[in-house]
Amino acid sequence: MKAPDDLLYSKEHEWIQRESDIATIGITEHAQKELGDVVFADLPEVGTTFKVNEAFGSVESVKAVSEVYMPVSGEVVETNESLLDAPEKINDDPYGEGWIIRIRLGNPTDLETLMSSQEYSKYVEEESQG
């Protein structure tokens, strides 16, 4: 399973990449695989503020609609509007072109609760055995 080292991960299978006080959020390689082919992404409005673990949007696959949760608190500053026409980017390149939102971090210490790449890989392994 692919989980780049420079990202942090949540138990709900989102990744986050920090660049100063702005961070990019998407869903992990494992999450996209479990979901199957994504056919629609529901994005939040720019300017909306979300709390930690609050659902900020949803992705729909042929199997189900799944909510996507905030790994940290923050305000949405940009959404990946190209997903509206090409939701398959979430499957094809979950850590790159398939990013979902950019936020201004509400509380940078939220990041401390998240998992590293190694911890996340272990978590996924345990979860699939459980």
68 by DSSP, 3-state: which?
Answer: strand
Nearer to another protein, 61 or 79 (CB): 61
- Beta-strand pair 65-69/55-61: antiparallel
Least distance from another protein to the Cβ atom of residue 111, Å = 26
Nearer to another protein, 46 or 64 (CB): 64
Least distance from another protein to the Cβ atom of residue 43, Å = 16
Least distance from another protein to the Cβ atom of residue 110, Å = 22
Q: Are 115 and 123 in contact (CB under 8 A)?
A: yes
Question: Rule CB under 8 A: which residues touch another protein?
Answer: 34, 37, 39-40, 60, 62-64, 87-88
Strand residues in the chain grouped as ranges (E):
8-9, 14-19, 22-27, 38-42, 49-50, 55-61, 65-69, 74-79, 101-105
Nearer to another protein, 8 or 69 (CB): 69
Nearer to another protein, 26 or 87 (CB): 87
Closest-CA residue to 25 (of 42, 39, 8):
8
Give CA–CA dist 36/14, Å, rounded. Answer: 16
Least distance from another protein to the Cβ atom of residue 18, Å = 30
